[in-house]
Amino acid sequence: MAARRHFHLSRSSLAGFCVWKESELSVGRKRGGWRVAVAVALVSLVATACSGGSSGGDGSGEPQAGGTLNIGLSSDNNGVDAAVVNQTWRTVARALSDSLVFYNPDTKGLEPWLATKWEVTDARVYRFQLRQDVTFHDGTKLTGEVVKQNFESLNRPGIHSSAKTIVEGIRTITVPSEYEVVVEFEKPNAAFLTSLSRAHAGIVSAKTAALPVADRQKSVDGSGPFYLDKFVPNQQIVLKKRPEYNWAPAYFNRTGAAHLDEVVYKVIPEDSVRNGAVIGGDELQFIYWVNGKYVDQLKAAGLTISKTLNPATGTELPVNTSSKFLKDVRVRQALQVGLNRDEFVKIVSNGYDQVAKGPLSEANPYFSDVSRFLKYDQAKAIGLLEEAGWKTVGADGIRVNAAGERLSLRAPQDTAAWQVLQSQWRKIGVDLVLDPPLAAEANKKLLSGEYDIAYWYHSTPDPDVLRANYGKTTGSNRSFLPDGTEVDKLLQEQNTVLDKAARQKIVDRAAELLVSEAYVIPVVNDVDVWAYQPSVHGLQAVGLDQYLYNTWLER
């Protein structure tokens, strides 16, 4: 993440996404557990003429060309192609491939990139005009036919990222001329353009698009400012500058090649070792997903700390409404208000994440504040449980109903974050059993319904992530909604509406129902934290995708 912060109670491996979408389900890994490693997403909010956005260092001085930037990773996350699995480092994938459209984090609008313009009809037909000067690293040209092949390649077995959901529902893809492509959906898809801006939707060469899925995880030939020079699993990823690159989005305020000659990602699993290496400044100059408990140490060592708020769902818990005890809305609501989010943030991320105010992050263009349903109220939680028939508290502190059944719920993670949840809900008499599946079975089991409480995370800056996650008619239905709910109707409807105000009204009502009916329990909005040497300038984050195009080293 796709696939940020999987609830691991984290993100990473949560990257999620749902198809394991931006599953960032793995999120947990990226972050080191749940995100106990507050994800490091770079964004220095000091704009400079040379960076055109967030920049690293103090943003001053004339950019210097050349040099190697060494970046520390906790793992290689299964490859280099974010279109295959969300767990892939989107920061790597973003440097290798460009997208048709660019999401401007300042205006929260879409701008030209590989596509110079587009026309949308009824949120169903999308006609793109392409740049005519773009090449891939293998020397081949960007054409409408290549874009068509890219979209077709994403709808194959083995693609387990959010990219697969982007092309679901396409009826036809046609190429009227060499630099034009038309995508027609069976039904309206208002989220299509925004989804195309993400790293997992980066356009690759025809040769890469045709590769077997397993091979795409090891080799990517894109149109980005860097090309893949070397990938040694669990050791390092080496990127080299493309001197001919000259089609960056206007957001970056310049043209031409990247400043850096080379970027080397080094896999260093241990937090303490990575921290020591970046503090020393010779082996590493930059690290991702910094654990919140280390931030003060890194600041004291003179490193620059920058933070980026996830623009989508953050860390949240889908509630299985088909489960025996959770069919009762009062039990679900008790869990909602029995969660002390302020305490959770302090313990899990050392205060660097933000308390959730709804199912969408405040950084999302369609954020809806429904925090009135999320206020911690232990007495109210206990009252709801007693009203639902859970009046007796056993000797072990867990509530029992008239049939003698203990109020015990099963969850698929056992991390520091989940242990905080376990402790908090025990105070209201709920037993949360932490029983994680094997990693290889996680995606399938989370959608099987065998868990009472699950986790999810998404980082695409569009409200349609809610339909993708919780929709029943279409979507992953992670809360196992029954037929005919108002919230499912709204989630489907919002993706048919292009007018911003009209769509916002629908999203507001859907967000209210998701939270008030406790179909989902929003916990925190994830904040990615990065740490780097002050000699590093021009680092930029757009959403949770990182851009090294304007990055330069002061020597």
What pLDDT tens digit does each residue of the chain (555 aa) get?
333 333 333 333 333 323 333 333 333 333 333 333 333 333 333 333 333 333 344 455 799 999 999 999 888 777 787 777 655 566 788 899 999 999 998 898 999 999 999 999 999 999 999 999 999 999 999 999 999 999 999 887 776 666 777 888 999 999 999 999 999 999 999 999 999 998 888 999 999 999 988 888 888 999 999 999 999 988 999 999 999 999 999 999 999 999 999 999 999 999 999 999 999 999 999 998 898 889 999 999 999 999 888 888 878 999 999 999 999 999 999 999 999 999 999 999 999 999 999 999 999 999 999 999 999 999 999 999 999 999 999 999 999 999 999 999 999 999 999 999 999 999 999 999 999 988 778 777 888 889 999 988 777 889 999 998 999 999 889 999 999 999 999 999 999 999 999 999 999 999 999 999 999 999 999 888 999 999 999 988 776 676 899 999 998
Q: Whose CA is closest to 278, among 306, 309, 299?
A: 299
Helix (H), strand (E) at residue 80? none
Q: For the residues of 115-136, what is the DSSP string, one character each?
A: EEEEEEETTTEEEEEEPSS-B-
Beta-carbon neighbour count of residue 502 at 10 Å?
Answer: 12
Q: Whose CA is closest to 82, among 67, 72, 96?
A: 96
List the Cα angle 158/162/167 in 5-degree steps.
Answer: 80
Instruction: Round to whole Å and give the CA distance between 545 and 532.
Output: 17
Cα dihedral: 16, 19, 20, 24 (round 10)? -10
Helix (H), strand (E) at residue 174? strand 170-174
pLDDT of residue 544: 63
Instruction: Round to whole Å and give the CA distance between 51 and 61.
Output: 11
pLDDT of residue 483: 95
Instruction: Round to whole Å and give the CA distance between 386 and 341.
Output: 23
pLDDT of residue 85: 62
pLDDT of residue 11: 34
Instruction: Round to whole Å and give the CA distance between 236 and 70.
Output: 10
Instruction: Round to whole Å and give the CA distance between 490 and 481.
Output: 13
Q: Give all domains of the chain, ordered by start, each with its CATH number.
A: 68-306+529-553 (3.40.190.10), 312-525 (3.10.105.10)
pLDDT of residue 90: 67
Residue 346 burial (CB < 10 Å; 0-12/13-18/19+)?
middle
Cα dihedral: 428, 430, 431, 436 (round 10)? -110
Q: Is the pTM of this model over 0.75?
A: yes
Q: Which residues of 306-318 are buried (b: 16+ CB within 10 A; e: fewer)?
A: bbbbbbbbbbbbb
Give me the count of residues in the chain: 555
CA atoms within 13 A on the CB side of 230: 10
Instruction: Round to whole Å and give the CA distance between 111 and 103.
Output: 6
pLDDT of residue 396: 97
Instruction: Round to whole Å and give the CA distance between 280 and 304.
Output: 14
Structure tokens at 408: 């015990």
Structure tokens at 2: 């796709």
pLDDT of residue 7: 36
